[in-house]
Chains A and B, each alone.
Chain A
Amino acid sequence: MRTKISELAKRLRNREISAVELTKAYIGAIEKLNPTLNAYVHLTFDTALNAAEQADQRLKEGDAPLLCGIPMALKDNICTDGLNTTCCSKILKGFKPYYDATVWEKLKAHGAVLLGKTNMDEFAMGSTSETSCYGAPLNPRNTNYVTGGSSGGSAAAVCANLAVYSLGSDTGGSIRQPASFCGVVGLKPTYGAVSRYGLIAYGSSLDQIGPMTNSVKDAAIVFDAIKGGDRRDQTSVDYDYGSSLAECLDRDVKGMRIGVAEEFFDGINPEIKSKIEEAIKLFERNGAVIENIRLPALKLALPVYYIIACAEASSNLGRYDGIRYGYRTSSYTSIEDMIVKTRSEGFGDEVKRRIMLGTYVLSSGYYDAYYKKACLIREEINREFDAVF
């Protein structure tokens, strides 16, 4: 049975279950199901049990935050001090960061219990999680299906109740799409809402960390715990939301204006379309004002994303040189040879493809036609959004 955060928090406070017992139940479930589902690629049970003991102490003292003692998971591209963080890539196999990502620092302060790191497409490049060097996770709803990606392991872990909630990262759909495939809730927060310090970079002008949960309310609770400006991520901001997102959910929708863009329905599955239309009607019945809007530049969003993300990735992944991160080729004749061999052996095909495209669109002669053009169209998409708001 999948349980909501607020429900578990209540049981922990009523002493119906201890954090250690709860953690042990999740460890048991992971031991039973993970060999098949492959949702987790690194397990951190010892750390989890220690954290659960401390959580029980805090719960006893009575000052514990809502997330205290709740077992959860992190995508394998979010840095955890001293614990494996490998982006599911051979080039980072065995890599243990020496600092915590801000999101993990924040959740730890809330008393979160980390069960392990979840499977993903290598360097978050993919939409099925099949490019993972550990093999793909399976969709718990039907193991013949993929989980989606790149945060496929995070989605599968929540779906199969191998974690109460997880964090994923989203550059071009990597939280929202696997959440949809596995039937869980995924939120890509607005760019700048959550610090990416300690998130291994893919496309820095697009990357965001966000929650994957069993309910919208849970997503809001986790978002509230991880949001906020951070001096270590220059793009993050301290925005005044007026109240917590969890509280916002209890507000009335009466008079709220909701724009429905025609472009969102291009080529959509009819079953999904009818579900969305039902939801629109539900909002309308409750007093929301529905306005049909147009965002014509959106039809170019996918190639624009692909060009910009690959360009940034080709630069971000330049750091894997065989010197600083562990994996290094076994024999080489020069520094250049060592770097080239390490990268060619360490990166998978999809990563190489994107680095190559990124290099292409940034190279002289093609820069204006691809990278610059994509940036200009992104501005146009921005302008269209600004115009409707």
Chain B
Amino acid sequence: MSISKTEIEKLAKLAKLSFSDEELERFTAEFDEIIAFADTINQSIEGGTEEIRNVGARMVSFDDLRADEVMPSLPNEKILSNVEGYNGFFSVERSKK
């Protein structure tokens, strides 16, 4: 199976990434190889069970979880220490007037 450039563009949109035309060509070609590798999971397993256990079978019950506790939060100024904050908020330039 070969993936099309349109499909790669759609995936990039979902992943919030963009590619130049040159990158898009390269990624599309590489992607076929990557998917071919992922497809190797379709080999049969010797002695493997036909219907493998449901993934949901290992759900954690709410009874297994600890009760909620109120704990102090980190101070605003620490959380904003890596960015240019504004009055204790994260700031983003206004893009819609």
Report A's interface with B, CB cutoff 8 A: 94-96, 98-99, 231, 234, 294, 296-297, 299-300, 303-304, 306-307, 314, 318, 321, 323-326, 332-341, 343-344, 347, 352-353, 355-361, 363, 370, 372-377, 379-380, 383
Pick from A99, A304, A325, A353: contact of B41, CB below 8 A.
Answer: A304
Choose among A294, A347, A359 the residue that contacts B11 (Cβ–Cβ < 8 A). A359
Partner of A300, one of B16, B40, B49, B82: B40
* Set of chain B residues within 8 Å of A359, measured between Cβ atoms: 11, 14-15
- Choose among B55, B66, B79 the residue that contacts A231 (Cβ–Cβ < 8 A): B66
**Can you list 14 A-B contacts (CB < 8 A)?**
A297-B45, A300-B40, A300-B41, A318-B16, A323-B83, A325-B82, A326-B83, A340-B16, A353-B34, A356-B12, A356-B15, A360-B31, A361-B38, A363-B14
5 nearest A-B residue pairs (beta carbon)? A296-B46, A98-B78, A376-B52, A359-B15, A326-B82
* Per-position binary interface string of chain B over residues 27-44, scored 1 when its CB falls under 8 Å from any chain A CB and 0 otherwise: 100110011011111110
Interface residue range, chain B? 35 or more
Let me know if B18 and A303 touch, CB within 8 A.
Answer: no
Query: Does B70 touch A at the CB level, under 8 Å?
Result: no
Closest to B10 in A: A363
Q: Is the CB of A344 within 8 A of B19?
A: yes
**B95 interface hit (Cβ, 8 Å):** yes
B19 — which chain A residues lie within 8 A by C-beta?
A: 344
B82 A94 Cβ-Cβ under 8 A? yes
The answer to whether B37 and A303 touch across the interface, beta carbons within 8 angstroms, is: yes
Known: A324-B90, A338-B92, A380-B49. A306 touches B11 (CB 8 A): no
Chain A residues with CB under 8 A of B17? 340, 343-344, 347, 352, 355-356
Tell me, in angstroms, the Cα distance from A269 to B5 when the chains sit together.
39
Residues of A within 8 A of B90 (CB): 323-324
- Are B38 and A370 in touch, CB under 8 angstroms? yes
> In the complex where A95-B82, A231-B66, A376-B53 touch, is A335 in contact with B95 (Cβ < 8 A)?
yes
Q: With A and B bound together, what is the CA distance between A138 and B40 in angstroms?
A: 33
> In whole angstroms, how far apart are the Cα atoms of A292 and B69 in the complex?
49
Q: Which of A306, A352, A358, A373 contacts B37 (CB 8 A)?
A: A306
Cβ of B48 to closest chain A Cβ, rounded Å: 6
Q: Quote the shortest CB–CB distance from B35 to chain A (angstroms).
A: 7
B47 at the interface (CB under 8 A from A): yes
Contact check, B95 vs A332: say whether CB atoms are below 8 A apart: yes
Judged by a CB distance under 8 angstroms, whether B59 is at the interface is no
Chain A min CB distance to B10 (Å): 9
Residues of A within 8 A of B47 (CB): 294, 296
Pairwise interchain contact B55-A307, C-beta atoms closer than 8 A: no
- Provide the bound-state CA to CA distance between A359 and B11, in Å: 7
Most chain B beta-carbon neighbours within 10 Å: one of A306, A318, A343, A376: A376
Report A200 CB to chain B, min CB distance, Å. Answer: 14
By a CB distance below 8 angstroms, the chain B residues around A318 are 16
Q: Which residue of A lies closest to B90 (CB)?
A: A323
A-B contacts besides A338-B93, A340-B17, A379-B55, 9 pairs, CB < 8 Å: A231-B66, A294-B46, A303-B37, A307-B38, A334-B95, A370-B38, A373-B41, A380-B48, A380-B52
Is A96 a contact of B52 with CB atoms below 8 Å? no
B48:A339 contact, CB within 8 angstroms = no
In the complex, residue of chain B having the shortest beta-carbon distance to the beta carbon of A359: B15
A307, B41: Cβ atoms under 8 Å? yes
Q: How far is the CA of A200 from the CA of B8 in the complex (A)?
A: 27
B2 contacts the other chain (Cβ, under 8 Å)? no
B81–A98 CB distance below 8 A? yes
Bound form: Cα–Cα A321–B27 in Å: 22
- Which chain A residues border B46 with CB–CB below 8 Å? 294, 296
Q: Is the CB of B41 within 8 A of A370?
A: yes
- Compute how far the CA of A94 lies from the CA of B42 in the bound complex, rounded to whole angstroms: 43
| Of A297, A325, A344, most B-chain CB atoms within 10 Å | A344
